[in-house]
Each structure stands twice: as structure tokens, then as C-alpha cells.
Amino acid sequence: MNALLAAKAIIGRELARFFTQRERFLAALVRPLVWLFVFAAGFRAALGLSIIPPYQTYITYETYIVPGLCGMILLFSGMQSSLSLVNDRESGAMRLLLTAPRPRWFLLGAKLVAGASVGLLQVAAFLVIAYFYGLKFSAGGYLAALPAFVMAGVMLGALGLFLSARIRQLENFAGVMNFVIFPMFFLSTALYPLWKMQESSLLLANLCRANPFTHAVELIRFALYGQLNLPALGWTVLSAIVFFGLALHGYEPARTRSGRRPD
């Protein structure tokens, strides 16, 4: 019972912070909506996509990128959570949290769940807007996609948690944007299918295959069409475990006390 109360307090604090920061919610929606309403028209004209394997169905380019834009929201939400963790560490709040009488994995796991919950709320709002825009999936597709959203959110949140253990100052977050977020997003199947990328460059296609974000997007995309992509699920789960393990290592007491690696 005490553990549940502790987890509830951590998750509730993160949700309360999110709901009081309306600009954060609007910014999270503006980015994918711009891609959906503005850039999608140009990309559709350039790529000329009408049938997207392996779905074997006629879908518009806008429908194709909806899962990728949901992944974008989860990616940026995970990075935003890492930014708040860096701020908490600088203010001392993170150190107080880690001194609580609970296992470190439990405390960091609660922070991970809290960040993933915020991302899921943003995805839900985006899907509602996309629905009224005419980009609809079946009710079964939405239900099947819910576990995929959760898994993708946990994996990307674990990545953000790992990065927060390595970022020592808020000023360094701009480097994360340039060297982590944008490469992960553009070197994926969020905006264009892998077979189209392979026509341009085999090297870039292989980088897309090795990108954990690609597997998270494909897991969501297949789920929205009522299909289970087992390889994507396996790689997403494995990536989440690896990132969370690295985050636990980064938040070792010796590291968090000094802010640097112990001698």
C-alpha cells in the first residue's frame, strides 16, 4: 500500500505539472499538426504513395504518417521528461526523491510511468483532432494500438531517463535535440516507408532498421490496422529494457551525489 501511495504521488506530481503548463500541451500538439496539415501535402506529391506494403490497402499519405506523428509526440514527450528531470536534479528535487525508502528501480520506474502517461494524453488529443480531420481507424484498431502506445511511450521515456542521467546542465539539452531527437525521427519510417528509403540509399535504410524508434512506429502502425508486428514488439521491449538498465546505472548513488563519475 505504501508503495502504491508513493507511485501515485510521483505520477500525480508529473500530471499536475503537465496540466498547469498549458503551453507545453499546445506545443506538443502544434508540431505534429503542422506536419499533418502543411508538410504532408508536399511529401505526398513528392513520394506519390497510394498503396503502402505490407498493409495492402489504399491509404492516403496523411493516414500513413499518423502513426509516425504519434511516435513523434511520444519521442518529444520523453525528451521533455528528461529535461524536467535535469531541472529536478539541479534544484535538488531528484536527490530527495532518490533518498526515499524505496528501491531505486521503483522510484525511477514511477517517473517513467508518469512521463509515459503524459505522452499518452498528448497522443489521445492528437488522434481526436486527426479523427475530425477525416483520418480515422477502426474501433478495434484504436483498442489494439493502446498497448502499442504504452510500450512505445515506455521505451522512449526510458531513453529520456537515460539521457537525463548523462545531461549535466540544461544548456546541453540543445545538443540532445540535434544529435538524438532529430536523427531518430528522420532516420525512421515515421514519414516514409522503408522500401522507399532503400530506393534512395541502402546505408540509410539500414540505419532506419537499426533505429529503435522505427520499431516503435511500426508497432503502432500495424496495431492501428489490427495487426501484431512481433519483430517490432520484440525490439521495442528489448530497447526499453536496455535504456532503463542504463538509466539505473546512470542514477547510481555515487554518480548522483557528485554529479560526475566516481573515481
Q: pLDDT-based confidence at 70, cuts 50/70/90?
A: very high
Domain ranges of the chain: 2-258
At residue 27 the predicted structure's pLDDT band, cuts being 50, 70 and 90, is confident
Give the per-residue SS3 of 166-227.
HCCCHHHHHHHHHHHHHHHHHCCCCCCCHHHHHHHCHHHHHHHHHCHHHHHHHHHHHHHCCC
The predicted model gives 19-28 an average pLDDT of: 72
**Mean pLDDT of all residues in the chain?**
80
Of these ranges, 15-19, 90-94, 102-106, the one predicted with the greatest mean pLDDT is 102-106
Residue 60 has pLDDT above 80, yes or no: no
pLDDT in tens, 180-226: 888 899 899 888 888 778 877 888 889 999 999 999 999 999 999 88
Q: Which of 92-96, 102-106, 113-117, 156-160 has the lowest mean pLDDT?
A: 92-96
Residue 155: closest CA among 87, 79, 64: 79
Nine-digit cell at 254?
Answer: 555515487
Q: Please tell me the predicted confidence (pLDDT) of residue 260.
A: 47
Banded pLDDT at 152 (limits 50, 70, 90):
very high
**pTM for this predicted structure:** 0.83
For residue 51, pLDDT over 50 is answered with no
pLDDT of residue 90: 67
Beta carbons of 248 and 108 less than 8 angstroms apart: yes
**In which band, very low, low, confident or very high, does the pLDDT at 26 lie, cut at 50, 70 and 90?**
confident
Alpha-carbon torsion 70, 38, 27, 177, what sign? positive
Average pLDDT over residues 143-149: 94
